[in-house]
């Protein structure tokens, strides 16, 4: 096997490891949303309180994302992925063993603090190992970790929760995160990069000073993540409580939608490579997201069975922009700031995902699903004028 082939195999191996580590973290982070039917129907929590419990992991991530990004910038990806996955597994096991719902929430919060490690580290791992003309595609593949994590969670967690309770359901993310910790410690290799002492001054300079580009991308992503978060959080309970589906059937549909969403992220990444732009496709996706959410609101208000198909389409469209924004941020920030920049990106998005479920759960309780879906459609429309033009990458 020649040197080029070995290098190619190594790059793609790093991508698979980054994907697995981030998928495992997302099973934990987003899997809590699939406890909502059990918390609501069996334990008597209203949607606002159940949404708050499901958001605790996201709140935990907000606290540590930038800090993990700093550790990645200073120490490296392997350490952060292995240690973060191990701490997430420990928190999930502790939550599974708790008999108090308050303590479950506490351990979900702590697990979210640990799971934040995978976001910045896996993004840097992918960008560091691949050339610019492949980064859109491979970051799109890496970004499938989120919908795939949601899909696996939807397939397993609600069924186990309804049959065996919340504690047993949380063992699934505990086990998968434990496996990820071992695999990352054994096989992840930090990407090659020049020593800080030899780096150009512009690569070491703070990319947030003198330019609003990164801040604008963060703001756009905050607005675009709200419909994404609402769709994946409430689709399951909407299908079960509003449409009369069984937990098993609803879980399969959510899994199917999330798999399609994963493919959509890959397609969007490849599209950006061919277009030579990360940010122009985001504008098109924002328009499509607004249209899909408005259509969902209308078909749901009319009681049409088409709303089932529309929510699947919305699930695909609303997740398609994430990889593009991540790639743009990593390229603009450069190898010595991308950890913190990606941490800031995740902090802003996860703060939105932490606030959105309880707020929209309360809104749904007052005005119903159609109006809540219509409100979601306003977010991508507000994002359109904020999308900046593309900037040169720092490699």
- The predicted structure's pLDDT at residue 392: 57
Tokens 């929430």 belong to which residue?
105
Examine residue 195 and state whether it is found in any structural domain, yes or no: no
How many folded domains does the chain comprise? Answer: 1
What are 179's two structure tokens? 């496996």
Q: What is the per-residue burial (b if ≥16 Cβ within 10 Å, else e) of 202-216?
A: ebeeebbeeeebbeb
Helices (H) and strands (E) in the chain, counts: 19, 0
First-to-final CA distance of the chain: 28
CA distance 107 to 17: 26
- The predicted structure's pLDDT at residue 313: 93
Examine residue 168 and state whether it is found in any structural domain, yes or no: yes
Examine residue 129 and state whether it is found in any structural domain, yes or no: yes
Query: 205: helix, coil or strand?
Result: coil
- The predicted structure's pLDDT at residue 361: 82
- CATH number (domain holding residue 306): 1.20.1250.20
Collect all residues with Cβ–Cβ distance below 8 Å to 228 and sequence separation of at least 6. 318, 319, 322
Examine residue 131 and state whether it is found in any structural domain, yes or no: yes
Examine residue 354 and state whether it is found in any structural domain, yes or no: yes
Widest Cα–Cα separation across the chain: 64
Examine residue 194 and state whether it is found in any structural domain, yes or no: no
Range 165-168, long-range pairs (CB < 8 A, 24+ positions): 165/38, 166/35, 166/38, 166/39, 166/43, 166/101, 166/104, 167/95, 167/96, 167/97, 167/98, 167/99, 167/104, 168/96
- The predicted structure's pLDDT at residue 242: 81
CA distance 84 to 118: 7
CA-to-CA separations, 39 to 51, 53, 162, 165, 248, in angstroms, rounded: 9, 9, 9, 10, 16
Look up the domain containing 134 and give its range.
3-189+202-386
Low-confidence ranges of the chain (pLDDT < 50): none
Examine residue 303 and state whether it is found in any structural domain, yes or no: yes
Q: Count other C-beta atoms under 10 Å from residue 276's C-beta.
A: 11
Examine residue 394 and state whether it is found in any structural domain, yes or no: no
- The predicted structure's pLDDT at residue 24: 93
């Amino acid at each position: 096997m020649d040197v080029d082939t070995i290098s190619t195999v190594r790059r793609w191996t790093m991508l698979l490891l980054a994907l697995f580590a981030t998928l495992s973290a997302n099973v934990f982070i987003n899997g809590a949303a699939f406890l909502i039917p059990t918390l609501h129907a069996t334990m008597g929590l209203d949607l606002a309180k159940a949404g708050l419990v499901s958001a605790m992991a996201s709140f935990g991530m907000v606290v540590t994302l930038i800090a993990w990004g700093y550790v990645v910038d200073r120490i490296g990806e392997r350490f952060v992925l292995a240690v973060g996955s191990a701490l997430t597994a420990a928190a999930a096991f502790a939550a599974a063993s708790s008999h108090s719902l308050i303590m479950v929430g506490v351990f979900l919060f702590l697990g979210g603090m640990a799971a934040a490690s995978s976001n910045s580290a896996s993004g840097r791992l992918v960008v560091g190992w691949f050339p610019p003309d492949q980064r859109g595609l491979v970051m799109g593949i890496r970004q499938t970790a989120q919908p795939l994590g949601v899909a696996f969670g939807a397939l397993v967690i609600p069924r186990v929760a309804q049959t065996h309770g919340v504690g047993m359901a949380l063992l699934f993310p505990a086990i998968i995160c434990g496996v990820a910790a071992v695999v990352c410690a054994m096989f992840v290799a930090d990407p090659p990069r020049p020593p800080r002492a030899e780096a150009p001054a512009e690569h070491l300079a703070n990319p947030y000073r003198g330019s609003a580009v990164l801040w604008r991308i963060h703001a756009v992503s905050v607005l675009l993540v709200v419909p994404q978060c609402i769709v994946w959080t409430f689709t399951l309970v909407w299908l079960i409580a509003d449409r009369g589906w069984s937990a098993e059937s609803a879980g399969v549909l959510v899994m199917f939608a999330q798999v399609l969403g994963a493919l959509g992220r890959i397609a969007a990444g490849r599209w950006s490579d061919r277009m030579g732009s990360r940010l122009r496709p985001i504008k098109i996706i924002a328009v499509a997201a607004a249209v899909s959410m408005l259509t969902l609101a209308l078909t749901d208000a009319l009681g049409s069975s088409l709303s089932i198909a529309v929510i699947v389409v919305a699930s695909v469209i609303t997740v398609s922009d994430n990889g593009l924004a991540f790639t743009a941020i990593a390229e603009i920030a450069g190898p010595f700031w991308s950890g913190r920049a990606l941490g800031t990106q995740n902090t802003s998005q996860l703060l939105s995902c932490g606030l959105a479920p309880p707020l929209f759960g309360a809104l749904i309780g007052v005005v119903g699903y159609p109006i809540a879906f219509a409100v979601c459609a306003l977010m991508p429309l507000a994002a359109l004028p904020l999308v900046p033009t593309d900037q040169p990458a720092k490699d």
